[in-house]
Amino acid sequence: MSLGEFSLIEKYFSALGASRADVLLGVGDDAAQVAVSLPQTLVMAIDTMVEGVHFPVNTSPSDVGYKLLAVNLSDMAAMGAAPCWFTLALTLPHSDEAWLSSFASGMTELAIEHDIQLIGGDTTKGPMVLSLQAHGLVMPERCLTRSGAKLGDDIYVTGTLGDAALGLKVALGDCKYPESTYLLSRLNRPTPRVELGKAISSWANSAIDISDGLLADLGHICRKSGVGAQIQLESLPLSSAYLRADVGYNMALCGGDDYELCFTASVQYRETILSLSEQYDCPVSCIGKVTSGDAIECIHFGERYQVSRQGYQHFAEP
């Protein structure tokens, strides 16, 4: 059965996620209203997913719902912010109850886990385009940015790199790899590193989440901070699935969709960072150093390594 716009919103989106005391008005009025206590500051991020561009057409709706929220939570994590509320703009070709129910359930799972509440949105008919805006809170002095990296900082990444890019090849039917279920799960259900992002915010000088590949995203930190970087390829965290796929380093360096954090911190905090990794049960690897200059240099056991391609860019010139 096909639901109308208002019944659809009421049934699937009027009470999605956490139920927070600071929401004064949620879904159902002309706008939402939330209570914000000073001196905290508001952090906002929006990400759009287009069917066929950001996820293959055959992706399960529950994975689509999960990922749409996860990628925005990952932006909150990269700012060191605590996620609180989100809004959701859906353009859908038709109102398909099975799709909506599965989409909402995937999103709910992650929203509850991170204590974030859906407070409003917009629903329209058209080719599938899904936008989600997350809102979070951070103390002003703890907000992490791309522009704070300092010469000599250690460079860290969370989790493992390149798994989602291999997962995409599996999803598209381009390649068969061992542990393909694991690789697909890294593509469809990335882990936003929210707790670690908050924890490192007192110690890190800069941070970004890796959506377009390590080199592309570390490149943003370098440009914004006016520094270069040297990374040691033998220190890159690679999963057993990645190693078994035997694809060299390029996917880990340039593959998108991992949603791990890349951050820099002064060498004096190395022990602290590694103890936070244990405390929050989030793998963290030191992969290199911030250098003078403006380039990212890759070193493999003392030798320079040439990388064959950069990260993904919409509207990239051929």
Residues within the interface to ligand ADP (CB under 6 A):
9, 13, 27-30, 88, 90, 118, 120-123
Q: Which does 294 bind (CB under 5 to 8 A by kind): Mg ion, ligand ADP, none?
A: none
Give the nearer residue to Mg ion in terms of CB position, either 122 or 278: 122
Phi, psi at 106, each rounded to 5°: -65, -40
Rounded distance between C-alpha atoms, residue 190 and residue 194, angstroms: 12
29 contacts which partner out of Mg ion, ligand ADP, none, CB within 5 to 8 A by kind? ligand ADP
Shortest Cβ distance from residue 121 to Mg ion (Å)?
8
Is 5 a binder of Mg ion (CB under 5 A)? no
Please measure the distance between the N-terminal and C-terminal CA atoms of the chain and give it in whole angstroms. Answer: 45
Number of residues that bind Mg ion (CB under 5 A): 1
Query: With respect to Mg ion, which residue has the nearer C-beta, 87 or 277?
Result: 87
Cβ neighbors of 308 (< 8 A, separation 6 or more) are 250
Cis check: omega of the bond before 283, within 30 degrees of 0 = no
Do 266 and 150 meet the contact criterion of CB atoms below 8 Å apart?
Answer: yes
Measured CA to CA, the distance from residue 143 to residue 30 in angstroms comes to 30
In order, the DSSP letters of 187-237 are HHS----HHHHHHHTTTEEEEEEESS-HHHHHHHHHHHHT-EEEEEGGGS-
Supply 164's token pair: 């989602």
The minimum distance between CB 122 and Mg ion, in angstroms, equals 4
Q: Which of 22, 29, 97, 122 binds Mg ion (CB under 5 A)?
A: 122
* Binds 121: which of ligand ADP, Mg ion, none (CB < 5-8 Å by kind): ligand ADP
* Inter-CA distances, 2 with 7, 96, 103, Å: 10, 6, 16
CB 89 → Mg ion: shortest distance, Å? 9
Q: Tell me which of Mg ion, ligand ADP, none is bound by residue 88, counting a contact when its beta carbon lies within the kind-specific cut-off of 5 to 8 angstroms.
A: ligand ADP
202 touches which of Mg ion, ligand ADP, none (CB within 5 to 8 A by kind)? none
30 vs 271, beta carbon nearer ligand ADP:
30
Residue 288 beta carbon to ligand ADP: minimum distance, rounded to whole angstroms: 42
Closest to ligand ADP by CB, 28 or 226 = 28
CA–CA distance, 185 with 100 (Å, rounded to integer): 21
By a kind-dependent CB cut-off of 5 to 8 A, residue 27 interacts, out of ligand ADP, Mg ion, none, with ligand ADP
Q: Taking contact as CB under 5 A, which single stretch among the options 50-58, 122-130, 144-152, 202-210 is the one that binds Mg ion?
A: 122-130
Interhelix angle 163-171/180-188, rounded to 10 degrees, is: 100
What is the contact surface with Mg ion in residues (CB under 5 A)? 122
